[in-house]
Amino acid sequence: MERKINHPKRFLWLTALLVVVLFGACHFEKNTLNGDGTAQVLQQEGDLCYQGTVLRGRSHGYGVLWLKDSVVYAGQWKDGKRQGMGTAHDSKGRKITGRWNADTLVNGSREDATGVYVGSFNSKMMASGHGEYTGNDGSHYEGHWENDAPTGKGFALTAQPKVKVGEWKAGQYLGERLTYTTERIYGIDISKYQHAINKRVHPIKWNQLRITHLGTASRKAIHGQVNYPISFIYIKSTEGKSLLNPFYKADYKQARAHGFSVGTYHFFSIYSPAEAQAAHFLRHSYISQGDFPPVLDVEPSPQQIAKMGGAEVLFKAVRTWLTIVEQRTGKRPILYISQQFVNRYLPLAPDIKRDYDIWIARYGEYKPDVHLVYWQLCPDGSVQGIQGEVDINVFNGYKEVFDEFKAKLIEKKPIVRSKLL
């Protein structure tokens, strides 16, 4: 739920002005004196009318203020100001019930045509502080507010329904802020670029692998020292319909021999038919029981997408690759894409967003709002035992969820084993 609740900022000073005008220029139609010095009055001047208790010429006690036929405020007053419980109606027909202090609404509820807000308010009668909003469509948000918009920590249930937990800013959902600790599950992805550096070939020291730095591409909340074990490794095998990673076969065998959970990915090309790319990947990739699902790495620029005929053509090719690989391996592939791709293109393929897990490259501090399985948190991390920069990834879940994820992969045997095996 990302709805901003509109509210008239003029309501507060308008009410005060009406009271001043009414008591400064009105005539008394009825006046009944009480023994405590107060009086019950019915006062009217033009379109303004006040009925209730007054003390020394000021509204004091219970009273109702009208503007024409509409109730502006009904409730407790003190020395001419709203004080205590009361109900107000604004020019847009919204009902506001709550506790007032010195003419300022402190907390209460506000109803409009779309739903109800219950919580704290600021001096302008805007939702501020802790509050809850429940929409007529079934949506719900509870958390911190500023200036009538969710801002800060909170959780929401959308009308779909979908749960969102994390942080908001000016009504926009940012995501869950991650804190990196030793309890999270980390992985890396590698290709020939972790071997071939400056025209030299560097081996990977498999028995030394530890994540030692999470890069500087974005701000991160880190608790403790970065010295994390690696729980899974993805290795690039193919690209397009003909390119190969010359280190793939050796890296795959070494990773499995050293006890790492392993997966294989293909880099998608806009220049080759999807069928040919799928065949190339299946022909040159290991598909073993217990392996992590195969991944399709889709990273075309907007210019490249336009060149191949637009997003519809791209998604048709992506669906073809995903379908062929799943049919041949028995494993549903994962789609690797960037946050920019999610924002700009993924809404055009709701079936893919709904049916496939996402591995997203997003170098920010908030967990992406997609059907996430892995999150690439930096492209410039450091790993002991590997030369150069390394992509660092985090699994969407802790040890228990990760163990369940792996157990399902072991139970499910691949339909077709690669010729490499």
Residues serving a catalytic function are: 189, 299
Q: Residue 200: exposed, middle, or buried by beta-carbon count in 10 A (0-12, 13-18, 19+)?
A: exposed
Please state, in angstroms and rounded to a whole number, the distance separating the CA atoms of residues 376 and 378: 6
Q: Are 353 and 175 in contact (CB under 8 A)?
A: no
One-letter amino acid at 141 equals Y
Please state, in angstroms and rounded to a whole number, the distance separating the CA atoms of residues 291 and 122: 55
DSSP state of 412: S
End-to-end CA distance of the chain: 49
Q: What is residue 231's three-state secondary structure?
A: coil
Contacts of 93 (CB under 8 A, 6+ apart): 112, 113
Contacts of 27 (CB under 8 A, 6+ apart): 43, 44, 45
DSSP state of 351: H
Angle at 212 between CA 208 and CA 215, to 5 degrees: 135
Contacts of 241 (CB under 8 A, 6+ apart): 269, 272, 273, 276, 277, 279, 280
Please state, in angstroms and rounded to a whole number, the distance separating the CA atoms of residues 277 and 241: 4
221-222 vs 179-180, strand pairing mode: parallel
Contacts of 225 (CB under 8 A, 6+ apart): none
Angle at 234 between CA 188 and CA 360, to 5 degrees: 70
Q: What is residue 379's three-state secondary structure?
A: strand
